[in-house]
């Protein structure tokens, strides 16, 4: 199902999906194509329930939000995102707005900060939702496995980030979605501690 009535906008979104598919080829540590697509889906779902916003900016920022992630790419000033947007003749003001949204997403860089725009709040929430629940757990250990982090290190990540996210959601829709995901995190931790109660 197309996102927009305007076919040019739908083609732009489709091209953005193709672009990140190539960009993330070979990545499988939780910051990958599948993650970006889930953030896109989350963002669209939230945007449809929240007050009117620039849906095109939300969609593009969600798809491109990890295109310059410092853990994956050695770029500056959103180079990869800008390359795509400029090559598709996106208006320069719109590009700056999308990059502002992207730069508000990272948890480590934006802890305690609330984006200025509704679009920024939506995309930040969408990304944080993907760090919760079953998906968040899977991503935590996928990343840890690739980077040599032991299971206990993954559990520490729950306390340093994942369990904090529920109370940092910006939108009503995301707060509602976060409740069950947070509960699953707590359930997993309790079960992990039960099963991991061994003496060495």
Task: Establish if 2 belongs to a structural domain.
Answer: no
Domain-located, residue 200:
no
Domain count, the chain: 1
Quick check: is 132 in a domain? yes
For residue 55, pLDDT beyond 80: yes
Q: Where are the alpha helices (DSSP H) in 65-171?
A: 79-87, 92-103, 118-129, 133-146, 151-160
Q: What is the pLDDT of residue 173?
A: 98
Task: Provide the pLDDT for residue 200.
Answer: 64
- Please check whether residue 102 is in contact with residue 59, taking contact to mean a CB–CB distance below 8 angstroms: no
Position 129 scores a pLDDT of 98
- DSSP category for residue 164: G
The pair of structure tokens assigned to 106 is 């990272």
The confidence score (pLDDT) of residue 71 equals 87
DSSP 147: T
Mean pLDDT for 177-194 is 97
pTM for this entry: 0.95
Domain CATH for 74: 1.10.3210.50
Distance separating the N- and C-terminal Cα atoms of the chain: 54
> Residue 47's closest CA among 184, 148, 170?
170
pLDDT (tens digit per residue) in 10-28 = 999 999 999 999 999 988 7
- Asked whether residue 56 is domain-assigned, the answer is yes
pLDDT of residue 1: 78
pLDDT digits (tens, 9 = 90+) for 118-141: 999 999 999 999 999 999 999 999
At 30, is the pLDDT very low, low, confident or very high (cuts 50, 70, 90)?
confident
- Say if residues 59 and 10 touch (Cβ distance below 8 Å): no
Report if residue 82 sits inside a domain: yes
68-117 residue pLDDT tens:
999 899 999 999 999 999 999 999 999 999 999 999 999 989 988 999 99
Domain carrying residue 133: 7-195
Q: What is the mean pLDDT of the chain?
A: 95
Residue 163's pLDDT band (cuts 50, 70, 90)? very high
Confidence of residue 150 (pLDDT cuts 50, 70, 90): very high
Identify whether 125 is part of a domain: yes
Inter-residue long-range contacts of 147-150, CB under 8 Å, 24+ positions, other chains counted: 147/29
| 20 falls within a domain | yes
Mean pLDDT in residue range 24-43: 92
């Amino acid at each position: 199902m197309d996102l927009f009535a305007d076919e040019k906008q739908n083609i732009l979104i489709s091209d953005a999906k193709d672009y990140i598919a190539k960009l993330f080829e070979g990545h499988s540590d939780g910051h990958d194509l599948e993650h970006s697509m889930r953030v896109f889906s989350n963002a669209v779902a939230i945007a449809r329930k929240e007050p009117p916003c620039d849906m095109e900016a939300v969609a593009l920022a969600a798809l491109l939000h990890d295109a310059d992630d410092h853990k994956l790419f050695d770029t500056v000033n959103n180079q990869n995102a800008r390359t795509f947007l400029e090559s598709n003749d996106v208006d320069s003001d719109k590009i700056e707005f999308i990059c502002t949204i992207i730069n508000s997403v990272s948890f480590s860089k934006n802890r305690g900060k609330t984006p200025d725009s509704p679009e920024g709040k939506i995309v930040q929430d969408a990304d944080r939702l993907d760090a919760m629940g079953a998906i968040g757990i899977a991503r935590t250990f996928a990343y840890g496995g690739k980077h040599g982090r032991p299971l206990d290190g993954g559990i520490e990540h729950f306390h340093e980030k994942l369990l904090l996210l529920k109370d940092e959601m910006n939108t009503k829709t995301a707060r509602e979605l976060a409740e069950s995901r947070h509960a699953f995190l707590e359930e997993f931790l309790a079960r992990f501690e039960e099963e991991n109660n061994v003496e060495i």
